[in-house]
Amino acid sequence: MKVLVLQGPNINLIGVRSAKTGDRITLDKLNSTLKKECREKEVEIKILQTGKAYKALNFLQRNKNWADGILFAPMAWAQYEYSLKEALDIIQIPVVEITLQKPYSLVSESSIFSDICIRNIEEHPDSVFQSALNVLLDHLST
């Protein structure tokens, strides 16, 4: 299986918020854990973190024929980035949306992506990507 991981704006600053809680979480640690999990499950992944919607769109469009599924952490895009919603709807690849629990994310309203995703996973950053991967792989194997 092949999975795209698209991480939206400011998730690269998770270490700043985690320092306040004493968790010592960084995006590099989250991605390393996810990569290890993917190796164990024989899943190929491509990861992009960006705050620029046009880069995210290019990533999705370039890889639409490569990917079997998408893990998507939209962060603030969950409120307003309709161009990404349109792209995800057009390419028709199963998407699991990732939402970080507070205080790691301030997004409190429902996501514009909810109706096109197979599921939204909201958990602590330490476990949310692995949980989302498991949901996606279960969906793809059925």
Report the first-to-last Cα separation within the chain, whole angstroms.
Answer: 13
Q: Domain range spanning residue 95?
A: 2-140
CATH number at residue 19: 3.40.50.9100
- Tally of domains within the chain: 1
Distance CA 49, CA 6 (A): 6
* Residues 69/95, Cβ–Cβ less than 8 Å: yes
pLDDT in single tens digits along all 142 residues of the chain = 999 999 999 999 888 877 777 778 899 999 999 999 999 999 999 999 999 999 999 999 999 999 999 999 999 999 999 999 999 999 999 999 999 877 566 665 689 999 999 999 998 888 999 999 999 999 999 8
Place of tokens 């890889």: 63
Tokens of 102: 């507070």
Q: Which residues pair with 123 in a beta bridge?
A: 100
